[in-house]
Amino acid sequence: MKDPIWKQQFTPEQVNSLRKNTINEVLGIELVEIGPDYITARMPVDHRTHQNYGMLHGGASVVLAETLGSVASTACLEDLQTQMAVGVEINANHLRSVKSGFVTGTVRPVKVGRTIHVWSIEISDENGRLVCVSRLTVAVVNQKG
């Protein structure tokens, strides 16, 4: 088993408790698992996440991807009092449509450096079929006092 990459320890329940009044609450995104080098979350495919053709909106997939990468970067920070992780760039390739159920995203590191983190996020449907692949770049910056 790999050594955990996380410098901050937390549970899915702790992260989910921070959803109130955020886009994650609106879209129903919830963390479900934290592994040694990955984090998994799920999101419903319903009226909140549909586009006008009744399929999962690509933007909702991007929100799920950025949420996963942001949580992962925050967990890799040395000091939550002086540092914060901010998204710099995200891309996504939408590979398959989904009309209902849940999609599950898993984030894994590409590179976790001192000032830049790069994450790969794969989003799959309930049958394990790949729906979206995304890459997120996050900058580690000092918090302004």
Q: How far is the C-alpha of 55 from the C-alpha of 81, rounded, in Å?
A: 40
The mean pLDDT of 122-135, rounded to a whole number, is 98
The candidate with the shortest Cα–Cα distance to 5, out of 89, 104, 107, is 107
Per-residue pLDDT at 145 = 63
Q: Is the pLDDT of residue 89 over 90?
A: yes
Fold of the 12-142 domain: Thiol Ester Dehydrase; Chain A (3.10.129)
Percent of the chain with pLDDT over 90: 96
pLDDT of residue 3: 73
Mean pLDDT of 44-59: 98
pTM: 0.95
Nearest to 45 by CA among 29, 22, 34: 29
Q: What is the helix (H) or strand (E) element at residue 133, kind and residue range? A: strand 130-142
Per the residue annotation, which of 25, 30, 33, 66 is the catalytic one? Answer: 66
Of 104, 41, 97, 51, nearest to 71 by C-alpha is: 41
Rounded Cα distance, 4 and 90, in Å: 24
Catalytic status, residue 122: no
Mean pLDDT of 55-80: 97
